[in-house]
A and B are shown apart, each in its own frame.
Chain A
Amino acid sequence: MPAEFYYGVEVFLNGLMAGVMYSLVALGFVLIFKASGIFNYAQGVMALFAAMTLVGFQNGQIPFAHLINAALGTEVHHFGWTLPAFVAIIMTLGVMLIFAFLVEKFVLKHLVNQEPIILFMATIGLAYFMEGFGDLMWNSDVKRLDVGIPKGGNIWVEESTAFLGGEDFYGFYLDSLDISAALIAAVLVGALVAFSQYTKTGRALRAVADDHQAALSVGISLRTIWVIVWAIAGFVALIAGIMWGSKSGVQFSLSLIALKALPVLILGGFTSIPGAIIGGFIIGVGEKMFEFLIGVPFLGGATENWFAYVLAMVFLVFRPQGLFGEKIIERV
């Protein structure tokens, strides 16, 4: 077997791992879309915000230190303690819950019955707000995030695949972090499915997703459900934020994966959790393989910037309802 082939396989595997990240963000989108019909552009910024908050708590950063210093002329920055990752994660979850509550109270409640595109634009506004708010609270430096997930090439994978190739093949290179991410994502999806299938709240969630009016009429509180869903989405965002942050640092580019999640959703459909996962894999593998096979050899590289969007566009032209959607029959 030629070395390129093995390299191709490795690219494929890495694409799968990148797909896990996209899937995680897309999952947050799907949850909120199903429960409230809102296309939440802020999901990516929520991941960024959650990661920033986590780092802030861990390192004992003083919130709004920059602002306080500028306004009062003081020189504060840290409380001088560090928290264990576990405690910081719990505290961050609390913050995301408060955030969910505030979003419901100040935004969603007032936008009931607006057109989807208006809601979409409102969440873009929300994203900008959170970005400014997060930077103001924790400052905008690139931060290192470490909650104890193993990093670096996975020796075990490398050693156990080395026999496949010849002399100069040392086994596939996979980052342990990516492997953990995939495992955690699988657990998360399992937990979400179990939650929505076997709990009372989960059943209420599915009822709301199916039909708002009918859910209201059997006594389900729409507003409570929204808070719960946004909190769950905040939880998913935190997971995504931890993964991405551990890999490449907590920084602005994290919020841009929200954009990448859009084509993922278009492929997978806005309402399907398996769709989000599969869509994420298709985009992740697709853009890595395209870059490897066509981008670098023929187009000068960096095709990952646009491949996902162009794929989504071409796909939509032939199948406007998505991979798993039903054919739309137009009526008058």
Chain B
Amino acid sequence: MSKQKAPSERQNSYVTADGRTIGPAVMEMKNITLRFGGVIAIQGISFDIHEGEIRAIIGPNGAGKSSMLNVINGFYHPQEGKIIYKGEVRRPLKPFEIAHQGIARTFQNIALFKGMTTLDNIMTGRLTHMNTGMLSQALWWGKAQREETENRAFAERIIDFLEIQSIRKVPVGRLPYGLQKRVELGRALAAEPSLLLLDEPMAGMNVEEKEDMSRFILDVNEEFGTTIALIEHDMSVVMDLADRVVVMDYGKKIGDGTPDEVRKNQAVIDAYLGVSHD
């Protein structure tokens, strides 16, 4: 990636209001259009996500935000447009291949593995980093054991970070909603993603849980330097967390910029206050 840092791309780096330096674009979406049969979910949207920033995607219900995340992690394939990831145009890949490229995500409706414990769920996040052969695993000798122990140590760091030591060996199906959301974040973090996608990480939480989750998101961004793209409905949270915001409505982009810029954008205000579309 370093050798492809053209001067023009360097100029993309910027400094945030609180003084952090944001790197060049890690992912660029160019003119993405996604259709389901006759329904247009996303219409010609372009935006970019820079290294180290927290990028929010907001918009009313049905604006196409979740579809956008699904395009980024390869669950949907857009009919038109280009996706440039780490400076290279990405060909259509299967979701698991994209996971191996370092994109991890959480889901709007929790998608944990209900039959497994918290620890096992977080260990599944390490799967992209584990590659012992079947034979070694069958005998549990040599590399299999070593790899398991190393990755367990990493998973334990995530568990410490998210303060969920006490539920390490509890099946996740038994956990309350807020904790499940946290375990899901842990599973995504365990993959050491270079781009982390969060789909409504605070949906259905009370104020206290939201505060906890916001703190974790900021800490992840600061301590691990992880690039984050998130969808969220709670405007106050978005405006506090995000460095830049994309606003979508009816599958189109209607605003893009820092929280302050977006807040003043007339099209955004209209969309949220409900001016009729002609």
Q: Do chains A and B touch in the complex (CB under 8 A)?
A: yes
Identify the A interface with B (CB < 8 A): 329, 332
| Chain B residues whose CB sits within 8 angstroms of the CB of A332 once the complex forms | 70, 75, 107-109, 111
Contact B111 A329 (CB under 8 A): no
Q: Is the interface of B mostly helix, strand, loop or mixed?
A: loop
Distance A329 CA – B111 CA, assembled complex (angstroms): 17
Q: Please name the residue on chain A nearest to B73 by beta carbon.
A: A332
| Chain A residues whose CB sits within 8 angstroms of the CB of B109 once the complex forms | 332
Does B272 belong to the interface (CB within 8 Å)? no
| Chain A residues whose CB sits within 8 angstroms of the CB of B141 once the complex forms | none
Q: Please name the residue on chain B nearest to A330 by beta carbon.
A: B75
Q: Please name the residue on chain B nearest to A327 by beta carbon.
A: B37
Distance A332 CA – B70 CA, assembled complex (angstroms): 9
Docked complex: B45-97 residues within 8 A CB-CB of A: 70, 75
* Binary CB contact string for chain B from 109 to 131 against chain A (1 if under 8 A, 0 otherwise): 10100000000000000000000
| Chain B residues whose CB sits within 8 angstroms of the CB of A329 once the complex forms | 36
Distance A197 CA – B192 CA, assembled complex (angstroms): 58
Docked complex: B118-158 residues within 8 A CB-CB of A: none
| Chain A residues whose CB sits within 8 angstroms of the CB of B108 once the complex forms | 332
| Chain A residues whose CB sits within 8 angstroms of the CB of B70 once the complex forms | 332
Identify the B interface with A (CB < 8 A): 36, 70, 75, 107-109, 111
| Chain A residues whose CB sits within 8 angstroms of the CB of B107 once the complex forms | 332
- 7 cross-chain CB contacts under 8 A: A329-B36, A332-B70, A332-B75, A332-B107, A332-B108, A332-B109, A332-B111
Q: Please name the residue on chain B nearest to A332 by beta carbon.
A: B107
Distance A329 CA – B36 CA, assembled complex (angstroms): 10
Q: Please name the residue on chain A nearest to B36 by beta carbon.
A: A329
Distance A329 CA – B109 CA, assembled complex (angstroms): 17
Distance A332 CA – B108 CA, assembled complex (angstroms): 8
Distance A329 CA – B39 CA, assembled complex (angstroms): 13
| Chain A residues whose CB sits within 8 angstroms of the CB of B36 once the complex forms | 329
Distance A332 CA – B75 CA, assembled complex (angstroms): 9
Q: Please name the residue on chain A nearest to B70 by beta carbon.
A: A332
The 3 closest A-B pairs by CB, nearest first: A332-B107, A332-B75, A332-B111
Distance A314 CA – B106 CA, assembled complex (angstroms): 36
Distance A329 CA – B37 CA, assembled complex (angstroms): 11
Q: Please name the residue on chain B nearest to A329 by beta carbon.
A: B36
Distance A332 CA – B36 CA, assembled complex (angstroms): 15
| Chain A residues whose CB sits within 8 angstroms of the CB of B75 once the complex forms | 332
A321 to chain B, nearest CB (A): 15
B267 to chain A, nearest CB (A): 29
Distance A191 CA – B98 CA, assembled complex (angstroms): 55
Distance A78 CA – B243 CA, assembled complex (angstroms): 88
Q: Please name the residue on chain A nearest to B66 by beta carbon.
A: A332
B265 to chain A, nearest CB (A): 30
Distance A332 CA – B95 CA, assembled complex (angstroms): 12
B278 to chain A, nearest CB (A): 31
Distance A332 CA – B73 CA, assembled complex (angstroms): 12
Distance A329 CA – B70 CA, assembled complex (angstroms): 13
B146 to chain A, nearest CB (A): 34
B136 to chain A, nearest CB (A): 33
Distance A260 CA – B89 CA, assembled complex (angstroms): 51
B221 to chain A, nearest CB (A): 24
A303 to chain B, nearest CB (A): 37
B94 to chain A, nearest CB (A): 13
Distance A54 CA – B70 CA, assembled complex (angstroms): 58
Distance A332 CA – B105 CA, assembled complex (angstroms): 11
Q: Please name the residue on chain A nearest to B95 by beta carbon.
A: A332
A33 to chain B, nearest CB (A): 25
Distance A332 CA – B111 CA, assembled complex (angstroms): 8
Distance A329 CA – B108 CA, assembled complex (angstroms): 17
Distance A332 CA – B200 CA, assembled complex (angstroms): 13
Q: Please name the residue on chain A nearest to B199 by beta carbon.
A: A332
Q: Please name the residue on chain A nearest to B109 by beta carbon.
A: A332
Distance A6 CA – B75 CA, assembled complex (angstroms): 54
| Chain A residues whose CB sits within 8 angstroms of the CB of B111 once the complex forms | 332
Distance A329 CA – B75 CA, assembled complex (angstroms): 11
Distance A332 CA – B68 CA, assembled complex (angstroms): 12
A118 to chain B, nearest CB (A): 13
B99 to chain A, nearest CB (A): 13
Distance A44 CA – B34 CA, assembled complex (angstroms): 47
Distance A306 CA – B36 CA, assembled complex (angstroms): 38
A116 to chain B, nearest CB (A): 15
A168 to chain B, nearest CB (A): 58
A81 to chain B, nearest CB (A): 57
A301 to chain B, nearest CB (A): 42
A203 to chain B, nearest CB (A): 32
Distance A332 CA – B74 CA, assembled complex (angstroms): 12
B98 to chain A, nearest CB (A): 14
B137 to chain A, nearest CB (A): 27
Distance A113 CA – B85 CA, assembled complex (angstroms): 43
B88 to chain A, nearest CB (A): 26
Distance A141 CA – B155 CA, assembled complex (angstroms): 62
B260 to chain A, nearest CB (A): 33
